[in-house]
Chain A
Amino acid sequence: MKTIFDKSVAGREGCWPCEGMAEEAYIPAELLRQGEIGLPSASELDVVRHFTKLSQRNFGVDGNFYPLGSCTMKYNPKFTENVAALPGFTRLHPVLPQLQGAGGLCQGALEVMFETERLLSELTGMAAYTLHPMAGAHGELTGVMLMAAYHKDKGNKKTKVIVPDSAHGTNPASAAIAGYEVISIESVDGIVSPEALAEVLDDEVAGMMMTCPNTLGLFEKNLPKIVEMLREVDALLYYDGANLNAIMGKMRVGDVGFDIVHLNLHKTFATPHGGGGPGSGPVGVSEKLVPYLPISRVEKQEDGQFRLNYKHPKSIGYVAPFYGNFGVVLKAYAYMLRLGGPGLTRATENAVLAANYMRKRLADHFEVPYNRICMHEFVASAAGQAKAGVHAIDIAKALLDKGHHAPTVYFPLIVPEAIMIEPTETENKETLDRFIDDLIEIAELVDTTPEAITTAPVTLPVTRLDETRAARSMELTDDL
């Protein structure tokens, strides 16, 4: 499909933001840009039609089942959009509460933040939260910075962070970027074993980053022992909460002994993913880490008024210019109010139910390396099919032809030909069954007509795309 730049016609006017066209005389000529910019000149209808057509070349949850493991692509109720679109929120300038006498002008927004932090604390059993991190990985970085601040303050000499091989790929990247050496440990029977941990655990370990349930969809049942071991060397335990959808109401990470947790509001708390972002990654901490939380922090005063407090001498400082992705926080807050504790628990129960149902039905047709009760997702493998020359990627593409988005493939790295499936709680049984039946049909085709799969997709606007060529040619913009 042509780009909007190809459709541009010189001189055609878009919509006017305002009347008038002031002179450039206010700025000296030598500071002005030369020549045209090269932005499109198109009518509003040209633009509307272009982006409508573009959108039709996309799968989204509103149109397609999206069982993308580790991404929690659940349906997000539409009413939260009305909340986030209230002008009382969208028009609020972020520096307003920093002006003297102006804190009173944004009490509603401050209350949203205060209440959201309180609900998240109760849900996860943590002492306090910051809403500032703007994505899950940003929350991880913030969490590791908190870890570093804690040890520095206590005078601990710590250089290493342990990350199991079943953790999310961002965990080691975040630890490394915060300045730590990353120690990887192999999982045993799909989970972290205390014995493997003992081999690498010493006084130089600042903490360990765990994903639970892990990327295999398995619950880390050795947690109490792991917590005990880390405490002995004053190492902190970090919980990657991207998979919180699996445990709400069933376990609170704070009660188990985790010191730091990040949540992905755009996963568990139902904010649309928008093609990959924006997200929001609040971080919760146990009591001993509260002094290090980023500033500002929202507080409720005795008179019931809310205020921002910037005076926290041990704080790690600013990880965001303001208060995080407030618009995303709003949706998460509305979602929590709507579901309440019982609703969140039932979301978890049904997510886990759906995953186990699919695992059980598919296990006769695909290898499932850890074929036992899983949490909200499970990992199958196309290793069997690969012997016939059909790989996980081919199966993924064949699913696209059937109108489903593909599961996550080749992740986690510890399962060959991995197909990681996360159905979520919002898909009805007909959808689950249709996906399972389609996948079984694909498995049967592997034996009879494998080329029908290796040439997929054939029903979409494009067939398989040449990624090697893209990396080599580096065509990253439209040439003028």
Chain B
Amino acid sequence: MPYVPHTDDEVRDMLATIGVDSIEDLFAEISSDMRPASFDMPEGLSEMDVLTKLEAMAARNATDRVSFLGAGFYDHYIPAAVDALTMRGEFYTAYTPYQPEASQGTLQAIFEYQTAITRLLGMECANASVYDGGTALYEALMMAVRKTKRRKIVVSEALNPIYRVMLASYTSNLDIEFVTVPHKDGQTDIEGLKAAIDGETAALLVQNPNFFGSINDFTELFNACRENKAVSVISSYPVLQTLLKTPGDMGADIAVAEGQSLGLPLSFGGPYLGIMTCTKKMVRQMPGRIVGRTEDSEGRTGYVLTLQAREQHIRRQKATSNICSNQSLCALRALVHMCALGEMGLKRAARVSVERAHVCAERLTAIDGVEMLTKGPFGNEFAVTLPINAYEAIARLTERGYVPGFPLGRYYKDLENGLLVACTEKTSEEQIGIFAEMLKGALK
């Protein structure tokens, strides 16, 4: 019997101690009318057979394609130390640190994660609890609604549409109104957003770089939020944040991000990491687990979960949020990733990614009929318009082993020919050259 250690003799002993005749006696309260109508589950397989079956399934996923897909989720190099350290059983098989003295490893790691992430984003406080970048945005929106007691959310259409559709689902039963300000040829419309912010606005949601890869400074826009007592929320891309002006320097109240690019594999969409940071003023509105530094009875430094009075296990229906997990292992991966690469290594990954994207943009726009859609500065992702429907181009290239990018027409009706292209430090110049040649051929 896999993973159950009791021998028949031990089972008999335990039943005798309990004072029942059989294991089935322990389930007597489940009356016959509550028993399963059917239970058509397969028989068990050996470990080897399961592994073989899953290996065959994995082989039906074509991960050998050269990919320029990004759209907020990036294939960066992950140092081997990340797997080796986070897989240590003491981290991996632990639970939420409810007994801090027995969980200083998890707690100090979260504290160090909070430190690294707040420094990266230039913010004051962070949690390690949110599932992904989309739910982080939703939680930020809810923080703003609680704080301002207002219901209008101003959002840029250049914010990742995958997140915008999520926000719509989450708020469908709540009294919340979205004002979506259209993008301007892939640019975040700063003036349009500014005009939409008023005394009724709970939050402004923007992204940097935006979905089209375009980089902005939102300082002025966040000033407009402050003047109207609205909460400014920015979603950013953590790897590029090593280079770009920080949310903190722009004056953001809340900064969130998808943490996948910091040491988490793409893994078909999860598990990922919702990065969530805010100013000290907002921290009591922030959901999830937060670690604080303190002392033990001997005066030694130690770490505990803190500010728990906001949480569901104490306040039940009055809690700040229902979040119970702390996404700790993903936060640990991000921390080890940042430490293993170090300040310089992470900057190196960012700079090389940006350079490759610019080389790629140059090569693609040298093709007749391919134009830059992203105007102005961009990082490691950019959008072009093709002379044909982007879906069509993608289908042609994918057949030949190259995934050229994301079709903007999926979310933007007027951009059927728009293609979003991402590079990382893993993209080689040779691959870029072949990609450009192939695209040229496919457009003929």
Contact = CB atoms under 8 A, between A and B. Distances in A.
B345 A17 contact: yes
Contacts of A474: 280, 283, 292, 306-307
B92 A60 contact: yes
B166 A400 contact: no
A237 to B, nearest CB: 13
Given A54-B108, A105-B61, A324-B269, A138 B131 contact: yes
Interface centre among B115, B120, B122, B269, by most chain A C-beta atoms within 10 angstroms, is B269
B347 to A, nearest CB: 8
A12 interface: yes
A429 interface: yes
Nearest to B28: A373
B328 A360 contact: no
B29 A102 contact: no
A478 B345 CA distance: 21
B251 interface: no
Nearest to B164: A318
Interface string B336-352: 10111111111111011
Contacts of B391: 99-100
Contact of B295 (A73, A141, A469): A469
Interface residues of B, number: 207
A82 B58 CA distance: 12
B202 to A, nearest CB: 16
A60 B77 CA distance: 29
Contacts of B324: 135-137, 169-170
A44 interface: yes
A173 B73 contact: no
A395 to B, nearest CB: 12
A425 B14 CA distance: 13
A316 B169 contact: yes
A309 interface: no
Interface in B349-376: 349, 351-352, 354-355, 358
A324 B272 CA distance: 9
**Prevailing SS type, chain A contact patch:** loop
A63 B95 CA distance: 13
Nearest to B55: A86
A183 to B, nearest CB: 10
Contacts of B122: 33
Interface stretch (A117-125, A194-202, A380-388, A438-446): A117-125
Contacts of A437: none
Contact of A343 (B13, B44, B346, B399): B44
B108 A325 contact: no
- Sort A-B residue pairs by CB-CB distance and give the 8 closest, nearest first: A341-B41, A88-B58, A274-B329, A322-B269, A14-B342, A62-B89, A317-B169, A58-B105
Interface centre among A54, A68, A107, by most chain B C-beta atoms within 10 angstroms, is A54
A463 B296 contact: yes
A470 B54 contact: no
A75 B142 CA distance: 37
A100 B106 contact: no
Given A91-B265, A356-B20, A465-B100, 10 more contacts: A14-B345, A22-B354, A39-B343, A92-B266, A100-B392, A135-B324, A317-B169, A426-B4, A429-B14, A461-B104
A347 interface: yes
B248 to A, nearest CB: 10
A174 B132 contact: no
A323 B27 CA distance: 36
Contacts of A357: 14, 17-18
Interface in A21-80: 21-24, 26-28, 30-34, 36-42, 44, 47-48, 50-52, 54-64, 66, 68, 71, 73-77, 79
Nearest to A393: B99
Contacts of B290: 476
Given A3-B111, A325-B270, A476-B290, A428 B6 contact: yes
Contacts of B99: 59, 396-397, 400, 405-406
Given A173-B319, A275-B329, A276-B326, A37 B105 contact: no
Given A47-B81, A60-B94, A250-B27, A320 B325 contact: no
Interface string A343-378: 110110110111011001100000000000100000
B21 interface: no
B292 A101 contact: no
Interface in B84-98: 84-85, 87-98
Contacts of A280: 271
Contact of A352 (B26, B110, B133): B26
Interface string A206-250: 000000000000010101100000000000000000000001011
Contacts of A322: 268-270
A261 interface: no
Interface stretch (B30-38, B177-185, B227-235): B30-38
Given A39-B342, A40-B343, A319-B169, A467 B63 contact: no
Given A105-B65, A134-B135, A173-B321, A350 B4 contact: yes
A187 to B, nearest CB: 15
A147 to B, nearest CB: 10
A152 B69 CA distance: 38
Interface stretch (B192-200, B310-318, B433-441): B310-318
A91 to B, nearest CB: 4
Contacts of A126: none
Interface centre among B43, B109, B142, B318, by most chain A C-beta atoms within 10 angstroms, is B109
B111 A400 contact: no
B207 to A, nearest CB: 14
Interface string A292-318: 001000000000000000000000111
8 contacts: A39-B338, A51-B88, A86-B55, A93-B403, A278-B271, A339-B2, A373-B26, A476-B283
